[in-house]
Amino acid sequence: MAVAQIAPPPPPPPPGPDVTPRASQPFSADPDLEPQVTIIRRDAETLEEVRIGGELKFVKVTPLHGKPYYLIPDGNGHTYVRRESLDTSLKVPMWVLFSW
């Protein structure tokens, strides 16, 4: 007569590095990776300079009247490229033909 036997459970893993999922670990921020935002208010506009690791990533310009725009340093860091948003995807030009 054959009888099925239940296999014993596997042994626990040996102690090693902490493998706790990131979501359950306590938050510890690296100050070098945190963005530093400097807000400069002027009469006609507000500038928000965003730096990560001391490097200027972009400047958000909010004029007193009008839409905000972004200034992003080009490759050599000497000039800035103006963009209407930080989105890098391709945008199809659209014009307002009628408005009422």
Rounded Cα gap, residues 92 and 45, in angstroms: 28
Q: Write down the mean pLDDT value for the chain.
A: 79
**Is residue 75 in some structural domain?**
yes
Q: Calculate mean pLDDT across residues 45-50.
A: 93
Residue 22, pLDDT score: 57
**Is residue 96 in some structural domain?**
no
Residue 4, pLDDT score: 64
**Is residue 23 in some structural domain?**
no
Q: Enter the DSSP assignment of 5.
A: -
Rounded Cα gap, residues 39 and 50, in angstroms: 9
User: Domain of 78: which CATH number?
Assistant: 2.20.130.30
**Is residue 69 in some structural domain?**
yes
**Is residue 57 in some structural domain?**
yes
Query: Whole domain around residue 45: which residue ranges?
Result: 32-83
Q: Calculate mean pLDDT across residues 33-56.
A: 90
**Is residue 26 in some structural domain?**
no
| Residue 28 and residue 15 in contact, taking contact as beta carbons nearer than 8 Å | no
**Is residue 54 in some structural domain?**
yes
pLDDT at 12 over 90: no
pLDDT at 72 over 60: yes
Number of domains in the chain: 1
- Could you write out the DSSP letters of every residue in the chain? -----PPPPPPPPPP-S----GGGSPP---TTTS-EEEEEE-SSEEEEEEEETTEEEEEEEEESSS--EEEEE-TTSSSEEEESSS--S-----------
